[in-house]
Structure 1
Amino acid sequence: MKKVLHLISSPRTEASVSRQLGSVVIGKLLEKYPGSSLKVRDLAASPVPHLDEIHIQSFFTPVENRSPEQEKAIRYSEEAIAELQEADLVIVEAPMYNFTIPSTLKAYFDHIARAGITFRYVGNGHLPEGLLKNKEAYIITSSGGIYSEGVLKPYDFVEPYLRFFLNLVGIKVIDVFRAEGQAAVGAEAALQKGVEGVVVL
Protein backbone atom coordinates (compact mmCIF):
# COMPACT_ATOMS: atom_id res chain seq x y z
CA MET A 1 0.00 0.00 0.00
CA LYS A 2 1.11 3.51 -0.84
CA LYS A 3 -0.15 6.98 -0.08
CA VAL A 4 0.03 8.62 -3.50
CA LEU A 5 -0.13 12.35 -4.21
CA HIS A 6 -0.85 13.20 -7.85
CA LEU A 7 0.09 16.73 -8.93
CA ILE A 8 -1.40 17.89 -12.25
CA SER A 9 -0.30 21.16 -13.85
CA SER A 10 -1.51 21.16 -17.46
CA PRO A 11 -4.21 23.79 -18.12
CA ARG A 12 -5.59 21.51 -20.84
CA THR A 13 -8.08 18.79 -19.92
CA GLU A 14 -9.08 15.91 -22.23
CA ALA A 15 -6.55 16.96 -24.88
CA SER A 16 -3.66 17.05 -22.42
CA VAL A 17 -1.06 14.41 -23.24
CA SER A 18 0.63 14.78 -19.85
CA ARG A 19 -2.70 14.12 -18.12
CA GLN A 20 -3.28 11.04 -20.25
CA LEU A 21 0.19 9.68 -19.56
CA GLY A 22 -0.22 10.51 -15.88
CA SER A 23 -3.46 8.52 -15.76
CA VAL A 24 -1.63 5.50 -17.16
CA VAL A 25 1.08 5.79 -14.51
CA ILE A 26 -1.50 6.12 -11.73
CA GLY A 27 -3.37 3.10 -13.05
CA LYS A 28 -0.23 0.97 -13.06
CA LEU A 29 0.69 2.11 -9.55
CA LEU A 30 -2.72 1.29 -8.12
CA GLU A 31 -2.60 -2.08 -9.84
CA LYS A 32 0.85 -2.82 -8.42
CA TYR A 33 -0.03 -1.55 -4.94
CA PRO A 34 -3.69 -2.48 -4.31
CA GLY A 35 -5.33 -0.72 -1.43
CA SER A 36 -3.26 2.43 -1.94
CA SER A 37 -4.84 5.83 -1.34
CA LEU A 38 -4.80 8.55 -3.97
CA LYS A 39 -4.93 12.30 -3.42
CA VAL A 40 -5.15 14.54 -6.50
CA ARG A 41 -4.18 18.21 -6.53
CA ASP A 42 -5.06 19.74 -9.90
CA LEU A 43 -3.19 23.03 -10.05
CA ALA A 44 -5.10 24.14 -13.14
CA ALA A 45 -8.59 23.36 -11.85
CA SER A 46 -7.81 25.08 -8.54
CA PRO A 47 -5.24 27.75 -9.44
CA VAL A 48 -2.35 28.35 -7.08
CA PRO A 49 -2.03 31.86 -5.63
CA HIS A 50 1.26 33.39 -6.72
CA LEU A 51 3.30 34.69 -3.83
CA ASP A 52 2.82 38.27 -2.75
CA GLU A 53 4.01 40.23 0.27
CA ILE A 54 1.41 38.89 2.68
CA HIS A 55 2.39 35.30 1.85
CA ILE A 56 6.06 36.04 2.50
CA GLN A 57 5.24 37.80 5.78
CA SER A 58 3.14 34.85 6.94
CA PHE A 59 5.97 32.39 6.20
CA PHE A 60 8.35 34.24 8.50
CA THR A 61 5.92 35.15 11.27
CA PRO A 62 5.68 32.78 14.26
CA VAL A 63 2.30 31.04 14.46
CA GLU A 64 1.31 32.81 17.67
CA ASN A 65 2.00 36.22 16.12
CA ARG A 66 0.19 35.83 12.81
CA SER A 67 -2.63 38.18 12.01
CA PRO A 68 -5.95 36.84 10.67
CA GLU A 69 -4.87 38.04 7.23
CA GLN A 70 -1.62 36.11 7.49
CA GLU A 71 -3.43 33.00 8.70
CA LYS A 72 -5.64 33.15 5.63
CA ALA A 73 -2.66 33.76 3.32
CA ILE A 74 -0.63 30.82 4.65
CA ARG A 75 -3.47 28.30 4.49
CA TYR A 76 -2.65 27.10 0.97
CA SER A 77 0.98 26.47 1.86
CA GLU A 78 0.12 24.66 5.08
CA GLU A 79 -2.38 22.36 3.37
CA ALA A 80 -0.07 21.62 0.43
CA ILE A 81 2.85 20.77 2.73
CA ALA A 82 0.65 18.54 4.90
CA GLU A 83 -0.30 16.52 1.81
CA LEU A 84 3.36 16.07 0.91
CA GLN A 85 4.29 15.08 4.45
CA GLU A 86 1.60 12.41 4.40
CA ALA A 87 2.46 10.99 0.96
CA ASP A 88 4.84 8.12 0.26
CA LEU A 89 4.88 8.64 -3.48
CA VAL A 90 4.44 11.83 -5.52
CA ILE A 91 3.48 11.87 -9.20
CA VAL A 92 4.40 15.21 -10.79
CA GLU A 93 2.90 16.00 -14.19
CA ALA A 94 4.72 18.84 -15.93
CA PRO A 95 4.19 19.48 -19.64
CA MET A 96 6.92 21.60 -21.20
CA TYR A 97 5.80 25.20 -21.65
CA ASN A 98 8.39 27.44 -23.28
CA PHE A 99 11.16 25.03 -22.29
CA THR A 100 10.18 24.83 -18.61
CA ILE A 101 7.32 23.95 -16.27
CA PRO A 102 3.89 25.66 -16.18
CA SER A 103 3.74 28.70 -13.91
CA THR A 104 1.11 27.02 -11.73
CA LEU A 105 3.58 24.30 -10.77
CA LYS A 106 6.30 26.86 -10.03
CA ALA A 107 3.83 28.76 -7.83
CA TYR A 108 3.03 25.50 -6.00
CA PHE A 109 6.73 24.91 -5.39
CA ASP A 110 7.05 28.44 -4.02
CA HIS A 111 4.42 27.56 -1.41
CA ILE A 112 6.03 24.30 -0.33
CA ALA A 113 9.66 25.49 -0.17
CA ARG A 114 9.65 26.53 3.49
CA ALA A 115 12.85 26.80 5.53
CA GLY A 116 12.67 24.69 8.66
CA ILE A 117 9.67 22.75 7.37
CA THR A 118 10.52 21.17 4.00
CA PHE A 119 14.25 21.99 4.02
CA ARG A 120 16.86 23.39 6.34
CA TYR A 121 19.99 25.43 5.78
CA VAL A 122 23.21 23.62 6.69
CA GLY A 123 25.71 26.43 6.11
CA ASN A 124 29.27 26.28 4.77
CA GLY A 125 28.07 27.10 1.28
CA HIS A 126 26.28 23.76 0.87
CA LEU A 127 22.82 23.19 -0.54
CA PRO A 128 20.02 22.95 2.03
CA GLU A 129 19.01 19.55 3.40
CA GLY A 130 15.59 18.24 2.42
CA LEU A 131 13.22 17.42 5.28
CA LEU A 132 10.58 15.45 3.36
CA LYS A 133 12.22 12.12 4.08
CA ASN A 134 11.42 8.62 2.80
CA LYS A 135 9.44 9.84 -0.17
CA GLU A 136 9.80 9.04 -3.87
CA ALA A 137 8.52 10.61 -7.06
CA TYR A 138 7.83 9.96 -10.70
CA ILE A 139 8.04 12.83 -13.17
CA ILE A 140 5.72 12.88 -16.18
CA THR A 141 6.32 15.36 -18.96
CA SER A 142 5.27 16.00 -22.54
CA SER A 143 6.73 18.17 -25.28
CA GLY A 144 6.55 19.03 -28.95
CA GLY A 145 10.23 18.26 -29.52
CA ILE A 146 12.52 15.49 -28.34
CA TYR A 147 14.47 16.68 -25.31
CA SER A 148 15.62 13.44 -23.70
CA GLU A 149 18.47 13.21 -26.20
CA GLY A 150 19.93 14.91 -29.25
CA VAL A 151 20.42 18.57 -30.10
CA LEU A 152 17.52 19.82 -27.96
CA LYS A 153 18.61 18.13 -24.75
CA PRO A 154 20.53 21.20 -23.44
CA TYR A 155 17.28 23.18 -23.66
CA ASP A 156 15.24 20.89 -21.41
CA PHE A 157 14.65 22.88 -18.24
CA VAL A 158 11.82 20.63 -17.06
CA GLU A 159 13.44 17.39 -15.92
CA PRO A 160 16.64 18.94 -14.47
CA TYR A 161 14.69 21.56 -12.54
CA LEU A 162 12.14 19.07 -11.20
CA ARG A 163 14.86 16.63 -10.16
CA PHE A 164 16.76 19.42 -8.40
CA PHE A 165 13.75 20.86 -6.61
CA LEU A 166 12.34 17.53 -5.45
CA ASN A 167 15.78 16.51 -4.20
CA LEU A 168 16.10 19.87 -2.45
CA VAL A 169 13.09 19.09 -0.27
CA GLY A 170 14.18 15.49 0.25
CA ILE A 171 12.14 13.58 -2.36
CA LYS A 172 13.97 10.98 -4.46
CA VAL A 173 13.04 10.83 -8.16
CA ILE A 174 12.65 7.21 -9.29
CA ASP A 175 12.04 7.75 -13.00
CA VAL A 176 10.85 10.13 -15.70
CA PHE A 177 8.18 9.22 -18.26
CA ARG A 178 7.97 11.31 -21.42
CA ALA A 179 5.52 11.78 -24.28
CA GLU A 180 7.82 13.77 -26.52
CA GLY A 181 8.19 14.63 -30.19
CA GLN A 182 4.53 15.49 -30.66
CA ALA A 183 5.35 18.11 -33.30
CA ALA A 184 7.11 15.44 -35.36
CA VAL A 185 5.05 12.28 -34.92
CA GLY A 186 1.77 13.61 -33.53
CA ALA A 187 0.31 13.56 -30.04
CA GLU A 188 -1.16 10.07 -30.30
CA ALA A 189 2.09 8.41 -31.39
CA ALA A 190 4.12 10.33 -28.80
CA LEU A 191 1.69 9.29 -26.09
CA GLN A 192 1.76 5.66 -27.18
CA LYS A 193 5.56 5.59 -27.06
CA GLY A 194 5.44 7.18 -23.62
CA VAL A 195 2.92 4.60 -22.40
CA GLU A 196 5.11 1.77 -23.68
CA GLY A 197 7.97 3.07 -21.55
CA VAL A 198 6.02 3.16 -18.29
CA VAL A 199 7.38 0.72 -15.72
CA VAL A 200 6.60 1.34 -12.06
CA LEU A 201 8.77 -0.07 -9.30
Structure 2
Amino acid sequence: MTRALVLTSSILDGNSLALAEHFQARAVEQGGLEVTTRDLIADDLPHLALPELSSWQVPAEERTAEQRELATRSNALIEELLAHDVLVLAVPLYNLGIPSQMKAWFDRVMRAGETFRYTEKGPQGLVEGKRAVILAARGGQYAGTELDSQTPHLKSMLGLMGIREVDVVFAEGLAMGEAPRKAALQEARKAIDGLIQRLV
Protein backbone atom coordinates (compact mmCIF):
# COMPACT_ATOMS: atom_id res chain seq x y z
CA MET A 1 0.00 0.00 0.00
CA THR A 2 1.20 3.51 -0.84
CA ARG A 3 1.79 5.66 2.23
CA ALA A 4 1.25 9.43 2.13
CA LEU A 5 2.41 11.96 4.73
CA VAL A 6 0.22 15.08 4.70
CA LEU A 7 1.65 18.21 6.30
CA THR A 8 -0.67 21.13 7.08
CA SER A 9 0.65 24.56 7.98
CA SER A 10 -2.19 27.08 8.10
CA ILE A 11 -2.66 29.33 11.13
CA LEU A 12 -6.26 29.78 9.98
CA ASP A 13 -9.11 27.33 9.56
CA GLY A 14 -8.62 27.96 5.89
CA ASN A 15 -8.46 26.79 2.33
CA SER A 16 -5.22 24.81 2.42
CA LEU A 17 -6.67 22.75 5.26
CA ALA A 18 -9.79 22.12 3.18
CA LEU A 19 -7.62 20.83 0.34
CA ALA A 20 -5.72 18.56 2.72
CA GLU A 21 -8.98 17.23 4.15
CA HIS A 22 -10.29 16.57 0.65
CA PHE A 23 -7.10 14.69 -0.22
CA GLN A 24 -7.45 12.54 2.88
CA ALA A 25 -11.17 11.88 2.32
CA ARG A 26 -10.65 10.87 -1.31
CA ALA A 27 -7.71 8.68 -0.36
CA VAL A 28 -9.92 6.77 2.08
CA GLU A 29 -12.65 6.40 -0.54
CA GLN A 30 -10.23 5.32 -3.25
CA GLY A 31 -8.38 2.80 -1.09
CA GLY A 32 -4.79 1.72 -1.59
CA LEU A 33 -3.45 4.91 -0.02
CA GLU A 34 -2.65 5.09 3.70
CA VAL A 35 -2.53 8.66 4.99
CA THR A 36 -0.65 10.07 7.98
CA THR A 37 -1.25 13.72 8.88
CA ARG A 38 1.00 16.11 10.76
CA ASP A 39 -0.26 19.55 11.82
CA LEU A 40 2.82 21.78 11.91
CA ILE A 41 0.88 24.49 13.72
CA ALA A 42 -0.04 22.15 16.57
CA ASP A 43 3.53 20.79 16.63
CA ASP A 44 4.80 24.34 17.20
CA LEU A 45 8.36 23.55 16.13
CA PRO A 46 10.70 26.31 17.28
CA HIS A 47 12.93 28.15 14.85
CA LEU A 48 16.15 26.24 14.35
CA ALA A 49 18.84 27.50 16.74
CA LEU A 50 22.54 26.78 17.08
CA PRO A 51 22.33 24.26 19.99
CA GLU A 52 20.00 22.00 17.98
CA LEU A 53 22.00 22.37 14.78
CA SER A 54 25.20 21.60 16.66
CA SER A 55 23.69 18.45 18.18
CA TRP A 56 23.50 16.87 14.72
CA GLN A 57 27.20 17.41 14.15
CA VAL A 58 28.25 15.47 17.24
CA PRO A 59 28.53 11.66 16.90
CA ALA A 60 25.52 10.04 18.56
CA GLU A 61 27.64 8.22 21.16
CA GLU A 62 29.31 11.49 22.19
CA ARG A 63 26.21 13.65 22.63
CA THR A 64 25.26 15.11 25.96
CA ALA A 65 21.79 14.43 27.35
CA GLU A 66 20.65 17.81 26.04
CA GLN A 67 22.12 17.14 22.59
CA ARG A 68 20.44 13.74 22.43
CA GLU A 69 17.10 15.32 23.21
CA LEU A 70 17.60 18.05 20.61
CA ALA A 71 18.71 15.59 17.92
CA THR A 72 15.73 13.34 18.58
CA ARG A 73 13.34 15.94 17.16
CA SER A 74 15.02 16.02 13.76
CA ASN A 75 15.67 12.28 13.72
CA ALA A 76 11.99 11.51 14.29
CA LEU A 77 10.85 13.84 11.51
CA ILE A 78 13.34 12.36 9.05
CA GLU A 79 12.30 8.81 9.98
CA GLU A 80 8.67 9.74 9.40
CA LEU A 81 9.48 11.25 6.01
CA LEU A 82 11.45 8.19 4.92
CA ALA A 83 8.66 5.85 6.02
CA HIS A 84 6.24 7.32 3.45
CA ASP A 85 6.09 7.16 -0.32
CA VAL A 86 4.36 10.47 -0.98
CA LEU A 87 4.82 13.81 0.78
CA VAL A 88 1.80 16.12 0.57
CA LEU A 89 2.37 19.76 1.49
CA ALA A 90 -0.79 21.78 2.14
CA VAL A 91 0.58 25.31 1.92
CA PRO A 92 -1.03 28.72 2.22
CA LEU A 93 0.84 31.70 0.78
CA TYR A 94 2.05 34.09 3.47
CA ASN A 95 3.80 37.22 2.22
CA LEU A 96 4.85 35.40 -0.96
CA GLY A 97 6.48 32.59 1.00
CA ILE A 98 5.77 29.48 3.02
CA PRO A 99 4.61 29.59 6.64
CA SER A 100 7.52 29.76 9.08
CA GLN A 101 6.19 26.60 10.72
CA MET A 102 6.75 24.67 7.49
CA LYS A 103 10.19 26.22 7.13
CA ALA A 104 11.00 24.95 10.63
CA TRP A 105 10.04 21.43 9.46
CA PHE A 106 12.23 21.69 6.36
CA ASP A 107 15.12 22.98 8.48
CA ARG A 108 15.03 19.71 10.43
CA VAL A 109 14.59 17.23 7.60
CA MET A 110 17.11 18.83 5.23
CA ARG A 111 20.25 17.51 6.90
CA ALA A 112 23.59 16.96 5.23
CA GLY A 113 24.56 13.32 5.54
CA GLU A 114 20.97 12.28 6.21
CA THR A 115 18.70 13.46 3.39
CA PHE A 116 21.39 14.88 1.08
CA ARG A 117 25.15 14.95 0.84
CA TYR A 118 27.81 17.14 -0.71
CA THR A 119 29.91 15.67 -3.51
CA GLU A 120 32.56 16.98 -5.88
CA LYS A 121 29.77 17.46 -8.42
CA GLY A 122 27.52 19.31 -5.99
CA PRO A 123 24.78 18.23 -3.57
CA GLN A 124 23.16 14.84 -4.07
CA GLY A 125 19.74 13.91 -2.70
CA LEU A 126 19.49 10.79 -0.58
CA VAL A 127 15.69 10.57 -0.38
CA GLU A 128 14.99 8.42 -3.43
CA GLY A 129 11.93 6.79 -4.92
CA LYS A 130 9.47 9.28 -3.46
CA ARG A 131 7.23 11.94 -4.90
CA ALA A 132 5.60 15.07 -3.54
CA VAL A 133 2.33 16.91 -3.96
CA ILE A 134 1.96 20.62 -3.25
CA LEU A 135 -1.56 21.85 -2.45
CA ALA A 136 -1.14 25.59 -2.86
CA ALA A 137 -3.89 27.92 -1.61
CA ARG A 138 -3.54 31.61 -2.46
CA GLY A 139 -5.74 34.67 -2.06
CA GLY A 140 -4.54 36.18 -5.35
CA GLN A 141 -3.35 34.95 -8.73
CA TYR A 142 0.37 34.20 -8.63
CA ALA A 143 1.08 30.94 -10.48
CA GLY A 144 3.38 31.46 -13.44
CA THR A 145 4.31 35.01 -12.42
CA GLU A 146 7.47 36.47 -10.90
CA LEU A 147 5.65 36.86 -7.60
CA ASP A 148 5.31 33.10 -7.18
CA SER A 149 8.53 32.56 -5.26
CA GLN A 150 6.87 29.87 -3.14
CA THR A 151 6.61 27.12 -5.77
CA PRO A 152 10.26 27.18 -6.92
CA HIS A 153 11.39 27.42 -3.28
CA LEU A 154 9.48 24.29 -2.33
CA LYS A 155 10.62 22.42 -5.44
CA SER A 156 14.23 23.40 -4.76
CA MET A 157 14.13 22.15 -1.17
CA LEU A 158 12.44 18.92 -2.21
CA GLY A 159 14.89 18.49 -5.07
CA LEU A 160 17.90 18.95 -2.80
CA MET A 161 16.72 15.90 -0.87
CA GLY A 162 16.17 13.95 -4.08
CA ILE A 163 12.40 14.38 -4.45
CA ARG A 164 12.03 15.66 -8.00
CA GLU A 165 8.70 14.19 -9.03
CA VAL A 166 6.43 16.98 -7.79
CA ASP A 167 2.80 17.69 -8.67
CA VAL A 168 1.30 21.08 -7.84
CA VAL A 169 -2.40 21.75 -7.37
CA PHE A 170 -3.19 25.46 -7.29
CA ALA A 171 -6.27 27.03 -5.75
CA GLU A 172 -5.92 30.73 -6.47
CA GLY A 173 -8.02 33.87 -6.34
CA LEU A 174 -9.52 32.72 -3.07
CA ALA A 175 -9.79 36.27 -1.70
CA MET A 176 -11.22 37.72 -4.91
CA GLY A 177 -14.88 37.05 -4.23
CA GLU A 178 -17.07 34.10 -3.29
CA ALA A 179 -17.74 32.93 -6.85
CA PRO A 180 -14.06 32.79 -7.87
CA ARG A 181 -13.25 31.11 -4.56
CA LYS A 182 -15.81 28.35 -5.04
CA ALA A 183 -14.74 27.79 -8.64
CA ALA A 184 -11.05 27.61 -7.72
CA LEU A 185 -11.64 25.16 -4.89
CA GLN A 186 -13.86 22.98 -7.06
CA GLU A 187 -11.19 22.87 -9.77
CA ALA A 188 -8.52 22.04 -7.18
CA ARG A 189 -10.63 19.21 -5.74
CA LYS A 190 -11.05 17.71 -9.21
CA ALA A 191 -7.29 17.90 -9.73
CA ILE A 192 -6.74 16.14 -6.40
CA ASP A 193 -9.19 13.39 -7.36
CA GLY A 194 -7.31 12.70 -10.56
CA LEU A 195 -3.97 12.82 -8.78
CA ILE A 196 -5.01 10.28 -6.16
CA GLN A 197 -5.99 7.82 -8.87
CA ARG A 198 -2.44 8.07 -10.22
CA LEU A 199 -0.83 7.77 -6.81
CA VAL A 200 -2.39 4.41 -6.03
TM-score after normalising by structure 2: 0.90
Identify if the C-alpha distance between structure 1 residues 129 and 64 changes in structure 2 by more than 3 Å, giving closer, same or farther: same
Shift of the alpha carbon at 1:59?
A: 1.2
Structure 2 residue 161 is the aligned partner of structure 1 residue 172: no
Deviation at 1:28, TM superposition (A): 2.9
Mapped pair 1:77 → 2:74: yes
> Which residue is equivalent to 2:19?
21
Residue equivalent to 2:88: 91
The residue aligned with 1:101 is 98
**Matching residue of 2:112:** 115
Q: 1:171 to 1:31 in 2, by over 3 A?
A: farther
Shift of 1:8: 0.7
3-state DSSP class of the match of 2:10?
A: coil
Name the CA distance, whole Å, in 2 between partners of 1:3 and 1:197.
19
Alpha-carbon distance change, 189 to 76 in structure 1, aligned in 2, over 3 angstroms: same
Q: Which amino acid aligns with 1:144?
A: G
Q: Secondary structure at the match of 1:197?
A: helix
Instruction: After TM superposition, list the pairs within 5 Å mapping 1:120-135 onto structure 2.
Output: 120-124=117-121, 126=122, 128-135=123-130
Contact between 1:48 and 1:104, CA under 8 Å: does it hold in 2?
yes
Partner in structure 2 of residue 136 of structure 1: 131
1:66 is matched with 63
Task: Tell me the secondary structure at the aligned position of residue 114 of structure 2.
Answer: coil
Q: Quick one: distance in 2 between partners of 1:143 and 1:191?
A: 11
Residue 5 of structure 1 corresponds to which residue in structure 2? 5
RMSD: 1.5
Paired residue for 1:192, among 180, 186, 194? Answer: 186
Q: State the distance in 2 between where 1:86 and 1:180 align.
A: 31
| SS across alignment from 2:119 | coil
> Match for 1:71: what amino acid?
R
Name the amino acid aligned to 1:26.
Q
Q: CA deviation at 1:78?
A: 0.7
SS at structure 2 position matched to 1:90: strand
Q: Aligned residues, how many?
A: 193
Q: Is the 8 A contact 2:27 2:34 kept in 1?
A: no
TM-score, normalised via structure 1 length: 0.90
Among residues 142, 145, 163, which one is paired with 1:147 in the alignment?
Answer: 142
Q: CA deviation at 1:31?
A: 3.5
Extract unaligned runs of 5+ from structure 2.
none
| Distance change >3 Å, CA 10–CA 81, structure 1 → 2 | same
Alpha-carbon shift at residue 147 of structure 1 (Å): 1.3
- Partner residue, 1:159: 151
The residue matched to 1:49 in structure 2 has which SS? coil
Asked whether the 8 Å contact 1:91–1:138 carries over to 2, the reply is yes
1:40-86 C-alpha deviation (Å, 9 max, x unpaired) = 11101111121112101101111011100011111210110000111
Kept after mapping to 2: 8 A contact 1:94/1:158? no
